[in-house]
Chain A
């Protein structure tokens, strides 16, 4: 403490200790908080099947869906952002579980945490069909006996603490084997 560099060093070391303590207190203050988010995803519609020809190695689809979520309760003072994403999950002969992220959205503010996408839009999002193509590894999704399930997932990223992942709301649809079948179904 006898020179200004020693004092600066001591002061900043003490500050870092205080910051660590405050961060721990912050994490502790919301450790037992149970958020009650509401989320639904429904009315899935396949509206395009690019790559239906035999030359395309991987089956691909454009998917539309309705989605509504009220994630305001996820926001505390220890929430940095919520990463909302939709996954399509199905099993094929090649893989027991395929997970494809087809849409995502970053919520940074509690004001944006209530959203509806699809027919009854209150918030205009960039897209209400898949942002990323639903591409299968191979063409197994066409002949898969099981339905394809869409899940609404989100990751809550805190200021301090662990990232938590949750999923709520799912809906199923059947992937047709050919484009003709899809066209017939949509008439």
Chain B
């Protein structure tokens, strides 16, 4: 998780490769059934995998920083420093 994390693009990427592979295999199944060759179905699935691999796997610089994450402002998660004036109850005992 770096500064370039893009949650929207990750969600889109997963949906995209699933859609590509499923639609290629659906078409391949019908065509393979028609020509009575399961080999055609396999080749269609592998074509879908190749396409989605090429589009989804590498870090394409083109899409970088489209949806940058909204980080909290600097320093806001730091614990406030303890000071003696802030705990008077301990001092009185």
Interface residues of A (CB under 8 A from B): 1-2, 4, 7-8, 10-12, 14-15, 18-19, 22, 25-26, 29, 76-78, 159
Measured CB to CB, the closest approach of chain B to A128, in angstroms, equals 31
Question: Are the CB atoms of A11 and B57 closer together than 8 Å?
Answer: yes
Measured CB to CB, the closest approach of chain B to A18, in angstroms, equals 5
Question: Are the CB atoms of B14 and A1 closer together than 8 Å?
Answer: yes
Q: Which of B1, B10, B21, B57 has the most CB of A within 10 A?
A: B57
A77 with B17, Cβ < 8 A, contacts A2-B5, A7-B57, A8-B53 known: no
When distances are taken between beta carbons in the complex, the residues of chain A under 8 Å from B73 are none
Q: Which of A1, A4, A12 has the most CB of B within 10 A?
A: A1
Question: Are the CB atoms of B36 and A18 closer together than 8 Å?
Answer: no
Chain B residues with a Cβ closer than 8 Å to the other chain, count: 27
A4 with B38, Cβ < 8 A, contacts A18-B25, A19-B45, A22-B29 known: no
Question: Are the CB atoms of A11 and B56 closer together than 8 Å?
Answer: yes
Taking CB atoms and an 8 Å cut-off, the chain B residues in 7-21 that contact chain A are 10, 13-14, 17-18, 21
Measured CB to CB, the closest approach of chain A to B69, in angstroms, equals 11
